[in-house]
């Protein structure tokens, strides 16, 4: 099985998960991650903002911000279509759906690293 076939197989399996399964498994990932020495000692964290069946990251982002950690999420720079990290302070108010339907900082909240 080649890399592309493996990706398709995993995506198919992930898409078959129920909302409850995604929530529960995401919570397990969150709890495991926040217990690691790397997370505990980190000051800067880069995270994607989850969509659909991905591991949900909203809780991790919000808790990390409350803990005083610097949280960076990717934005797609429209002029060159590259990704760049942007610092966020407020998950609920600073993000909007971008061109690909993924939450990213509103233009007025671009804080490029």
Domain count across the chain:
1
Pairwise CA distance, residues 84 & 74, whole Å: 5
Tell me the whole-structure pTM to 2 decimals: 0.87
Instruction: Write out pLDDT tens, residues 16-72.
Output: 999 999 999 999 999 999 999 999 999 999 999 998 889 999 999 999 999 999 999
Beta bridge partners of 88: 71
Q: Which domain holds residue 9?
A: 3-109
Phi/psi zone of residue 96: left (φ > 0), alpha (ψ -120 to 50 degrees), beta?
Answer: beta
What's residue 36's pLDDT?
98
CATH code, domain carrying 49 = 3.40.50.10420
């Amino acid at each position: 099985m080649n890399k592309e076939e493996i990706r398709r197989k995993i995506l198919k399996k992930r898409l078959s998960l129920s909302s409850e399964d995604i929530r529960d498994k995401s919570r397990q990932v969150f709890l495991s991650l926040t217990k690691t020495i790397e997370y505990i000692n980190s000051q800067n964290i880069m995270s994607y903002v989850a969509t659909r069946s991905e591991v949900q990251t909203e809780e991790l982002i919000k808790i990390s911000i409350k803990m005083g950690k610097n949280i960076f999420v990717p934005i797609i720079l429209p002029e060159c279509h590259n990704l760049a990290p942007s610092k966020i302070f407020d998950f609920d108010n600073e993000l909007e759906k971008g061109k690909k339907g993924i939450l990213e900082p509103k233009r007025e909240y671009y804080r490029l690293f």
